[in-house]
Amino acid sequence: MTADAAIHVQGLEKSYKDLHVLKGVDFDVARGSIFALLGSNGAGKTTVVRILSTLLKPDAGIASIAGFDVTAQAQKVRETVSLTGQFAAVDEVLTGRENLILIAKLRHQKDPGGIADALLARFSLTDAGSRRVGTYSGGMRRRLDIAMSLIGSPSVIFLDEPTTGLDPAARNEVWDAVRELASGGTTVLLTTQYLEEAEQLANQIAILHKGTIIVDGTLAELKQLLPPAKVEYVEKQPSLEDVFFALTGEEDATEHETAGDPEKDAAATGKEGR
Measure the CA–CA gap between 176 and 37, rounded to whole angstroms: 19
Of 23 and 162, the one with more pLDDT: 23
What stretch of H or E contains 14?
A: strand 5-16
CB 23 within 8 A of CB 210: yes
What pLDDT digit, counting tens, does each position of 3-12 carry?
578 999 999 9
pLDDT digits (tens, 9 = 90+) for 184-209: 889 999 998 888 889 999 999 999 99
Q: What is the pLDDT of residue 47?
A: 94
- Domain ranges (residues) in the chain: 5-266
pLDDT of residue 255: 40
C-alpha 182/C-alpha 203 separation (Å) is 10
The b-or-e profile of 41-71 (16+ CB within 10 A means b, else e) is: bbbbbbbbbbbbbbbbebeebebbbbebebb
- Specify the CATH class of 5-266 in words: alpha beta
